[in-house]
């Protein structure tokens, strides 16, 4: 029996003879179901698309201590993972819905995994596959535990803040989902500190501002209290750089840019802009 993977969001469901009637993630107001209807796939089908060995994982160095792990061609929403490496172990963040043996071997060569987690339920992806390969914990924010589509005994819930490894802290921000989180990585940006934000805080294509979304595909905004909640959650942490859920990155000056971007966004919400 195959484990089912939603083709639209890349989330995994337990193995069974028939796929679920719908994807709970994509049926929600923040996501979408194709006009032609829900579509399911499997790991083997994803692996074989375009011919044997076509879909594969890609690794690249982002900065010292940080590795990017993507999938080509992309799966589901298309996020790439970030592997935060410390001498106490590694954390995998926002894994895509597809993982191959080569990716697991390459992470093993980089010290394996202590834990795997995601910014929010859209990006849970192949968390359980990664956890099983390394005996790692799956960290899920308590507020979003109801969105888990692939139950696993390795799941541990957390709330508020959680220092997963020395200098690597999960910070609950809310907004896009109640449990939407970022990683604060103290050693990032040459020791100035970095945030890994998924789409809890969204880096724009021009890499010159940050924005906030309730739903990206459905173009629904966050409220002012939600945005202020995100700012309050991250302000105590030093950071100069922000890695979003895809390639765009704010290389420096991220703290000031976040404050300025939030103020501008709130002007629009209040009808004070443009």
With contacts defined by CB under 5 A, name the span among 1-9, 90-98, 150-158, 229-237 that binds Zn ion: 1-9
The least distance separating Zn ion from the CB of residue 6, rounded to whole angstroms, comes to 3
List the one residue from 168, 199, 202, 227 that touches Zn ion (CB under 5 A).
199
For 232-235, the CB contacts below 8 A with 24+ separation are: 233/171, 233/172, 233/173, 233/174, 233/182, 234/171, 234/173, 234/182, 234/184, 234/195, 234/201, 234/258
Q: Draw the binding track, 108-137, toward Zn ion (x: CB under 5 A; -: no contact).
A: --------------x---------------
| Beta carbons of 150 and 128 less than 8 angstroms apart | yes
**DSSP secondary structure of 236-251:** TS--SEEEESSS-EE-
With contacts defined by CB under 5 A, name the span among 8-16, 128-136, 146-154, 232-240 that binds Zn ion: 8-16
- Residue 23 in the binding site for Zn ion (CB under 5 A): yes
d(CA 86, CA 249): 21
- Residue 5 in the binding site for Zn ion (CB under 5 A): no
- Residue 9 in the binding site for Zn ion (CB under 5 A): yes
Nearer to Zn ion, 124 or 158 (CB): 124
Residue showing tokens 């001498």 = 87
The least distance separating Zn ion from the CB of residue 21, rounded to whole angstroms, comes to 12
List the one residue from 4, 5, 6, 41 that touches Zn ion (CB under 5 A).
6
Residue 51 exposed, middle or buried by CB count within 10 Å (0-12, 13-18, 19+): exposed
What separation in angstroms does the CA of 238 have from each of 165, 170, 263? 17, 14, 20
The least distance separating Zn ion from the CB of residue 89, rounded to whole angstroms, comes to 27
- Residue 26 in the binding site for Zn ion (CB under 5 A): yes
Interface with Zn ion (CB under 5 A) = 6, 8-9, 23, 25-26, 122, 199
């Amino acid at each position: 029996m195959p484990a089912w993977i939603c083709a639209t969001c890349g989330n995994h469901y337990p193995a069974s003879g028939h796929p679920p009637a719908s994807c709970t993630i994509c049926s929600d107001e923040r996501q979408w179901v194709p006009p032609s209807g829900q579509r399911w796939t499997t790991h083997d089908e994803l692996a074989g698309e375009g011919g044997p060995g076509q879909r594969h994982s890609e690794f690249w160095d982002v900065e010292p201590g940080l590795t990017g792990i993507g999938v080509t061609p992309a799966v589901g929403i298309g996020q790439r993972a970030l592997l935060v490496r410390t001498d106490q172990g590694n954390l995998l963040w926002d894994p895509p819905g597809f993982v191959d043996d080569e990716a697991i071997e390459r992470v093993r060569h980089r010290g394996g995994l202590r834990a795997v987690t995601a910014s929010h339920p859209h990006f849970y992806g192949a968390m359980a596959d990664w956890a099983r390969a390394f005996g790692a914990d799956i960290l899920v924010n308590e507020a979003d535990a109801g969105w888990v589509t692939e139950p696993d005994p390795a799941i541990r819930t957390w709330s508020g803040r959680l220092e997963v490894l020395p200098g690597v802290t999960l910070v609950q921000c809310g907004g896009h989902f109640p449990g939407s989180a970022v990683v604060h990585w103290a050693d990032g940006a040459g020791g100035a500190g970095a945030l890994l934000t998924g789409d809890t805080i969204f880096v724009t294509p021009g890499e010159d501002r940050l924005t906030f979304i309730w739903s990206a595909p459905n173009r629904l905004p966050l409220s002012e209290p939600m945005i202020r909640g995100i700012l309050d959650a991250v302000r105590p942490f030093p950071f100069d750089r922000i890695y979003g859920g895809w390639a765009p990155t704010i290389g420096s000056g991220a703290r000031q840019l976040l404050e300025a971007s939030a103020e501008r966004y709130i002007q629009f919400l209040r009808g004070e802009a443009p």
